[in-house]
Chains A and B, each alone.
Chain A
């Protein structure tokens, strides 16, 4: 059965810290891995990683896909209180109609 596992489930850091969120997956015919940020309501899209795009960066956020280890990390540098959210990892399979979500990592950044 396809699955996505995220760790840690929750994390508390201080402003300015750097954090690394982990995501591992077992998906038949893997096609892409997606990261979302969720703050109280709908998840908002952060990154999509595929075989042709294994590293993405946007401002203080960056993500890498390791297809050999079937995993991805999401890095946030110089964290701010506005980074407090649930970060969701999800995968998509070729020929599949479903996106498989992990349970999420709840990040809390203290001022």
Chain B
């Protein structure tokens, strides 16, 4: 089955520790994204990558880092510099849909990170 997997589903960490969230896709999509979701705030873009070995900051990149060494993998590291890391993190990939030029996003199941 093709899709996006994220692990773990739930993650607990102590303040001051870095933590890496995994995102893997076997859809052969070039573009991948990391979003953060807080209650009442929809999805906010952290980082995105259009192609292997290239990535760009999104709207709230401070305190986060990513890598894109393989097409299938786009891990996100939440560093100790991120002031409010507790949130629901969603990974997504994107592909052109039909002939309209529009894109459709596919989401992973998410990782809920709690930092205490």
Give residues in A with beta carbon < 8 Å to B: 6, 9, 31-32, 34, 41-45, 48, 50-53, 88, 90, 92, 94, 97-99, 101-104
Chain B residue numbers with a CB within 8 Å of A50 are 100, 102
Cα A90 to Cα B37 with chains together (Å): 14
Contacts A41-B110, A42-B110, A101-B43 known; list 19 others, CB within 8 Å.
A6-B42, A31-B100, A31-B103, A42-B107, A42-B108, A43-B90, A44-B107, A45-B106, A48-B104, A53-B100, A88-B42, A88-B43, A90-B43, A94-B101, A97-B31, A99-B33, A99-B103, A101-B35, A103-B40
Total interface residues on B, CB under 8 Å, equals 27
Are A32 and B102 also in contact (CB < 8 A) when A97-B31, A97-B48 are? yes
